[in-house]
Structure 1
Amino acid sequence: MKEKLKKLLARFDALNRRERIVVSVAVWLVVLFVMDTLAITPAQRQSGAMVKAITDKQAELVRSETELAGLRSQRAQDPDAAARARIAELQKRIAVIDDQLKNARTQIVPPEKMAGLLEQLLRRNKRLELVSLRSTAPESMGKAEGAAGADKGAPAQGKGPAEALYRQGMELTLSGSYADMLDYVVQIEQLPWKIFWGRLDMKVDEYPRARLVLNVYTLSLDKTWLSI
């Protein structure tokens, strides 16, 4: 293996400057393709599936609470055994969804901890340079109208309206080698809390160093901008 590597390096050294640049760029493009195929795309796909599951549950919670408010209003005007049975069914369903959402939230990184975790991982790799780190505007994942919207004159009893879910994000710009960037991405994936992947853009500054713009986010019930 060492002999083969020596021969390859000797052949590379024998190339003129223009040929070396062409070969270096080709190698770097292959490296980027491998990084995207093995690390980034699977992580983005997994993140998307989890976000969809959470937002679907949140939407189901809103629908159930809205229907429950309407039935309570109807029962107040005209008590009915079928309405009472449906109310009991909805209350059980809402409790189940609440538990599922609470469990999902325990797996997601809290917004106030995300910046610290990302910087902590960077400190483990001195070869990676943090060019910039900024928070991005919170994005609503679908506004929850809540149960009160079903009948303004009949507020829901017990729970309030379902809360809106927000995407709280950060954008990091890093400078370093492919290997160090891949290691950083893998470390983020291995965190005990889930951080979701957004946009990822990599450009070669001067081979073998590149610049990586990485957008990551978490989910929150709070619309407040993340502090850094």
Structure 2
Amino acid sequence: MRARWQSLLERFAALSARERLLVTIALFAVIYQVADLVVLQHQARRVEALNAEIASARTEIRRLNDEQNVLSAGLQRDPVAKQRTAVELARQQIRQLQGQLDDATRAMISPRDMARFLEHLLSQEDALRLTRLKTLDPVPLLGEEPTRDRPDGLASAAVHRHAFEIDFDGDYFATLRYLRALEQLPWQFAWDSIDYEVIEYPRSAVRLRLHTLSLSEDWIGV
């Protein structure tokens, strides 16, 4: 193994300056792809589990809402105590599930904090320069808007997807430190994509796309 390594070093030294530069860039690209894959897979697993929990809670809320509507209709025709009790129980279950849904989204970083930390952590790296930070329009996670002004006073909470795009340029190692700093934040968010392009070695252009989830459609100060 040592002899093979020495042979590779000798072959590398025999290359022209241009060839050595191209080999170095290719090596950095491979290292970046491996690190990128590890970070994305870790975040994807965390967010996938949270999304499943949210989807399950939303499905149960819809089922209970449907059940409550049936019971309410029956109550209007035959206002007996048993049905009234069942309706109130359904309302309590809906409130409980909405509380669980709120707890699940609270584990995600807020849109306001996401924008703030994206810019703040990047400013800690002298070798990186921010060129653009864009917030995209919020989108209901399951393609539904919340039902407001319900006669029973209960709202069908919608989970909204708040997405960001951030563009910056700098060297590879500063970029890797920045990605690690984001990944170590105590809140959860989802990586959508990372575009990395070498402009003029060692400087590269990077675009991150990521999102967080919130029960609020508003950006709250972003």
Percent identity of paired positions between Structure 1 and Structure 2? 30
Deviations 1:186-226 (A, max 9, x none): 21122122222222222222333322211121222333467
- 1:109 maps to 109
State the AA in 1 paired with 2:118: L
Cα RMSD of the aligned pairs, angstroms, is 3.0
What is the CA distance between 1:172 and its match in structure 2?
Answer: 0.5
Q: Which runs of 4+ in 1 moved over 6 A?
A: 5-10
Distance across 1 between alignment mates of 2:155 and 2:67: 12
2:71, 2:47 → 1: CA distance?
Answer: 36
For 2:183 and 2:158, locate their aligned partners in 1 and report how far apart those are by CA, in whole Å: 26
2:170 corresponds to 1:176: yes
Question: Aligned AA for 2:173?
Answer: A
Of 193, 215, 220, the match for 1:221: 215
C-alpha distance after superposition, 1:155-204 (max 9, x if no partner) = 542x3331322111110012122322222122112212222222222222
d(CA) in 2 for partners of 1:50, 1:134: 25
Instruction: Report 1:1-228 matches (<5 A).
Output: 12-79=12-79, 83-84=83-84, 86-142=86-142, 143-144=144-145, 146=147, 156-157=151-152, 159-224=153-218, 228=222
Select the structure with the greater relative contact order (CA < 8 A; seq sep ≥ 6). Answer: 1
| Structure 1 position 20, deviation (Å) | 1.8
Q: Normalising to structure 2: TM-score of the pair?
A: 0.81
Kindly provide the CA deviation profile for residues 20-72 of structure 1, in whole angstroms up to 9, marking residues without a partner as x.
24412430231122112321222233223323322332342233223213311
Which amino acid in 2 is paired with 1:133?
A: L
CA distance in structure 2 between the partners assigned to 1:178 and 1:53 by the alignment:
36
Which structure 2 residue ranges, 5 or more long, are not aligned? none
TM-score of the two chains, using structure 1 as the length reference:
0.79
Range 139-148 or range 14-23, more displaced? 139-148
Do the aligned partners of 2:138 and 2:160 also contact (CA within 8 Å) in 1?
yes
- State the one-letter code of the partner of 1:205: I
Tell me: CA distance 1:226–1:10, structure 2 relative to 1, closer, same or farther (3 Å).
farther
Give the superposition deviation at 1:81.
Answer: 6.3
User: Given that residues 169 and 205 in structure 2 are in contact (C-alpha distance below 8 angstroms), is that contact kept between their aligned partners in structure 1?
Assistant: yes
Describe the SS at the equivalent of 1:198.
strand
- Cα deviation digits, residues 2-23 of structure 1 (max 9, x gap): xxx9997775343114532441
Aligned-residue offset at 1:73? 2.3
Instruction: Tell me, yes or no, if the aligned pair for 1:201 and 1:213 is still in contact at 8 Å.
Output: yes
Contact kept? 1:109, 1:194, Cα under 8 Å = yes
Bigger drift between 18-27 and 173-182 goes to 18-27
Q: Distance in 2 between matches of 1:92 and 1:102?
A: 15
* Distance (Å, rounded) in 2 between the aligned partners of 1:145 and 1:117: 29
Q: Which residue matches 1:152?
A: none
Count of residues paired in the alignment: 218
